[in-house]
Amino acid sequence: MADGVTGVVTLSPEEGERVRGAAAGLGDDAQFDDITRPELMEARRTGDIALVHSWELVTAVDGPGTRMTMFMSGCPLRCQYCHNPDTWEMKTGTLERVEDVVKRIKRYKPIFNASGGGLTISGGEPLFQLSFTRRVLKEVHDAGIHTTIDTAGYLGARLRDEDLDNIDLVLLDVKSGDEETYRKVTQRELQPTLDFGDRLNKMGKAVWIRFVVVPDLTDSPENVENVANIVARWKSNVERVEVLPFHNMGKDKWDNLGMNYQLADTKPPKPEDVEKIRDVFRSKGLEVY
């Protein structure tokens, strides 16, 4: 996304033909012509190969400095306001070998060093294709590049402690503050995110919280207070809270996929309402943007 300040460059296009059905071993990228379906499934299990949705080189979002953001395919959540619903199913993207991805990221190390940036793995959900993500994070981190994951935390229990050692920063999306609202937003349970946040807090892992303000969905005073109280208990390791206004720029993707976009008539929140919500987080002693 671009906000008038942030510069965004989409890498062209993903250095490979975008394929459908790759999760079923049906990718038609020429470099994988000689791989059988069982071999491809095994390669995905070991993290040798994954389905990467897209790439961006971004300034001032997705973590500090200039970030190379790699969007992974696959996500267990079904967020009503998701602007990348095409990442949910393992159907669209580019089959990538882990060594090629690491090599590509390392080429940008001078830019990362100059800007204080690094790699961010997003999605979809970066922990969905965990074996691949795990290997990329280790190799990139070992190369001295700052690493970040942008996650809802639902699959956080899958990360080992040594995996977290290879992650410098976690962007944690706390989508709602009570079970009923969270399930309405995501069709999933809140508790795994809370457990993951508690674990990160215990480890002292640097975290940036993200909360999206959606009118008539996540913006009730009760829900906002609940989210703020949850985040406040992690105050010792939460470096900042980003309160983000809803936008419907993903509607076209929903339409193109033949999916019902329930928020088609929802307008972005008023700036003054977003600021009031930011003040709730500030009242808990949190750094808020």
> 124 preceded by cis ω (within 30°)?
yes
pLDDT of residue 47: 85
pLDDT of residue 107: 96
Average pLDDT of the segment spanning 133-143: 98
pLDDT category of residue 269 using cuts at 50, 70 and 90: very high
Average pLDDT of the segment spanning 253-271: 91
Which residue has tokens 């190799």?
Answer: 139
Q: Is 41 exposed, middle or buried (0-12, 13-18, 19+ CB in 10 A)?
A: middle
pLDDT per position as a tens digit, 157-192: 999 999 999 999 999 999 999 999 999 999 999 999
Those residues with Cβ within 8 angstroms of residue 88's Cβ, 6 or more apart along the chain or in another chain: 74, 75, 78, 82, 124
pLDDT of residue 32: 62
Kindly tell me if the per-residue pLDDT of 29 is higher than 60.
no
Domains for the chain: give ranges and CATH numbers. 40-284 (3.20.20.70)
Kindly tell me if the per-residue pLDDT of 244 is higher than 70.
yes
Average pLDDT of the segment spanning 62-88: 93
Kindly tell me if the per-residue pLDDT of 6 is higher than 80.
no
Please tell me whether residue 41 adopts helix, strand or coil conformation: helix
**How does strand 207-213 pair with strand 238-245?**
parallel
Average pLDDT of the segment spanning 102-107: 97
Kindly tell me if the per-residue pLDDT of 3 is higher than 70.
no
pLDDT category of residue 27 using cuts at 50, 70 and 90: very low
Q: Which DSSP string corresponds to 148-190?
A: EEEE-STTGGG--HHHHHT-SEEEEE---SSHHHHHHHHSS-S
pLDDT category of residue 138 using cuts at 50, 70 and 90: very high
pLDDT category of residue 30 using cuts at 50, 70 and 90: low
pLDDT per position as a tens digit, 56-71: 998 778 999 999 999 9
Average pLDDT of the segment spanning 107-113: 96
DSSP annotation of 98 reads H
Kindly tell me if the per-residue pLDDT of 19 is higher than 60.
no
Kindly tell me if the per-residue pLDDT of 41 is higher than 90.
no
In the chain, the percentage of residues whose pLDDT exceeds 70 is 87
pLDDT category of residue 9 using cuts at 50, 70 and 90: very low
- Is pTM beyond 0.85? Reply is yes
Give how far Cα 105 sits from Cα of 11, 17, 136, 187, Å.
12, 19, 9, 34
Kindly tell me if the per-residue pLDDT of 254 is higher than 60.
yes
Average pLDDT of the segment spanning 260-280: 95
